[in-house]
Structure 1
């Protein structure tokens, strides 16, 4: 069951502290897989999934802030801040932070996306209190020291350079810009050399204070964890840092809205002296809350999600025109993207694009066969379960679900939704999404005549 039918309980401490509301969101069998949520008076949400059979635990804190929350001059600030939270707090130096987790054989990292940021540590279950203390300290007590800001600037500039040296990665940033333009969703998560060089300590500190309020955070833990103990430890850490003073605060709601992407037939070419041409041909997709996303997931799997997919068979297996070819979807709160990627020799780029465009048009007009859809349903269901076989993946699932949807869905419910997708639903979403005029992003050493022909793929 989902959080819509959650069982609620209330708790008040013996010291008379404000009430924390606890809900059982998903009831597992014999306690295994049970998901609970506690909302503290300061608006901080804590969700856990209990798996007593494992010896590890992953603890993470999700912040409802990403690169789409940045102004043009702040582009890259969210990711910059992610780096800086590892640089030291009032209690720990940067070395203390890393050494504490290394000393128990754990792993700690973070990632920044367009709409959220996550900090996490994976440790043995007996070391979970340490992980909670370290990660909570990072989130609530960062110094953002001016010297660290200057030192980390060079690290981030190197990361940007590293990304630009990988055209197979960089082309996806170019595709986002092609489709969404100079908007927060269209700009790169890392920022640019110019924006990173211009960011100051004070601007980053203000960004931190604004977006790392407890009402915008979700704490998630999965593995051999005890929900009540996690809540007590997290609450103590945040209260000690003075971060739960607003007893009447409530969590911010998941992002929402309705953004229409009108880009069609646009071509962007970035000339690079690479051995391959890297292309993304795509169009607007679906927002992550769109009920058709399950059918789109099946469509994406059948079209370009594996070795038996249409695109893999047509481009690689039958013709040997590319080593890597696949399709993918990106869903945001208010819009989405659907793309087809391929990397090939520059003199074969037009053949690859023609085949990809022909397949998109064919599936949009005629749909997929029942056999293809059935195979894709099985593949998607299997990969969904296999992708949740460790505590890190489970922490990601419950943390992101709470932040982005405000509810939880069990694995059984997810499998049921996938299995319930009908051929008619897949064909309908194929018409809606693939029937749109595509746009194109290319990185490679294309000559003028080759470049001029790129518009053929989107005409």
Structure 2
């Protein structure tokens, strides 16, 4: 790839053959050629998620705005025209919102790149916030919140995160709280849109069967019409260190108890990320994992059990074990899981468990990075975190290099009582159940 003739601010990442374009208005575009199939994905990442909502924290305004923008009207197209154009392009498109960003993507055949580019940029930069669509999508999101409230697994994770984090806005659910959501007005949505959906708050990725230099020129020609605006200054408070154990129990109309046991750990940039990622596979991936062996009798008292390591770039993450079990086994299960965490601090992981965990983690990671969408997601997320664009090979090599002693070091440092949070949801106690029946 040669870029001298383009006259653009382009960075070439030769190791993974990626072009990075930085426009004067602040937009960052990342292009990667992949000629395996005659398809292209265009994906935009806007730095606005649940943690960036400022005075609107807890309303889910970023998520509601995503609903309004996706397939919504623009200054140049009616809602029907947007939908019809997507249909003509194959209708392989979607949008989502996370803690730290909102994303929109469309997958098209290579000959439709130009039309798809104009459409997605029009929707991003020229959306109309209309009263009727606002009310319609407000109703849709309220129903989503109600469904989440009735889902015991989502309720459990919400309970865990809200108590793991007391200050940082990651404690707020992406979808928001219903009472706060209902307070939003179309005018507030429009003001938020105009503040956040600006070029220097966006990353635009293109992956697929395309000439990268041609793609850069087309992206520049479409986005150059939008000028740079005032810099955003989202204040994200630091989460203070956790100083004591936190245990939270709630009742819900369910049959089996659910529990999450977790410890505060590290950010994405910390070198302990890789030992912790690998440990999540050693503990919870597959029938021979350490946690799966907790069911020692023919009667499976633990219905399901998994482990995970969450290491975002914007706040220290956590290592967690989540389990669903028969209610009368709750205390025993908690004790056994905590004993496993305790042993990890004093006894190194066995070589066979280390090898099995590496094989599981690497194969899972590579499987999750096969498609064009996987590649575009990886590029966008790495750009948001100012992380290495060539991260697939980098991640695999770092997992391969993890030693048992590094896992033990991480366990000693982070699996401590004063960094422990336990969230539990149980069926109603018999006294409460009888009380409800009497009313």
TM-score (norm 2): 0.90
CA spacing shift, 1:281–1:49, aligned 2, 3 Å: same
Long gaps (5+) in structure 2? 433-439
> Who is 2:127 aligned against?
142
CA spacing shift, 1:121–1:21, aligned 2, 3 Å: same
Between the aligned partners of 1:394 and 1:433, the Cα distance in structure 2 is 32
Q: Which of the residues 26, 31, 42 maps onto 1:48?
A: 31
Long gaps (5+) in structure 1? 1-6, 13-18, 29-33, 451-459
Kindly state the Cα deviation for residue 155 of structure 1 after the two structures are TM-superposed: 0.5
5 Å-filtered alignment, 1:46-445, equals 46-71=29-54, 73-75=56-58, 76-86=60-70, 87-181=72-166, 183-239=168-224, 242-245=225-228, 259-262=239-242, 264-315=244-295, 320-332=300-312, 333-437=314-418, 438-445=420-427
8 A contact 1:281–1:441 mirrored in 2: yes
> Who is 2:436 aligned against?
none
8 A contact 1:105–1:123 mirrored in 2: yes
8 A contact 1:8–1:22 mirrored in 2: no
Q: CA RMSD in A?
A: 2.7
User: Which shows bigger deviation, 188-197 or 62-71?
Assistant: 62-71
> Who is 2:429 aligned against?
447
1:20 aligns with 2:2: no
DSSP-derived class of the 1:365 partner? coil
CA spacing shift, 1:394–1:275, aligned 2, 3 Å: same
Kindly state the Cα deviation for residue 309 of structure 1 after the two structures are TM-superposed: 1.6
Deviations 1:271-312 (A, max 9, x none): 211122221111102111112111111111111233322112
CA spacing shift, 1:314–1:189, aligned 2, 3 Å: same
8 A contact 1:175–1:441 mirrored in 2: yes
Between the aligned partners of 1:69 and 1:254, the Cα distance in structure 2 is 6
8 A contact 1:302–1:375 mirrored in 2: yes
DSSP-derived class of the 1:273 partner? coil
8 A contact 2:160–2:422 mirrored in 1: yes
Between the aligned partners of 2:57 and 2:315, the Cα distance in structure 1 is 22
CA spacing shift, 1:26–1:65, aligned 2, 3 Å: farther
Between the aligned partners of 2:118 and 2:217, the Cα distance in structure 1 is 11
Between the aligned partners of 2:292 and 2:119, the Cα distance in structure 1 is 45
Deviations 1:189-210 (A, max 9, x none): 1111111100111222222222
What is the number of equivalent residue pairs in this alignment?
Answer: 428
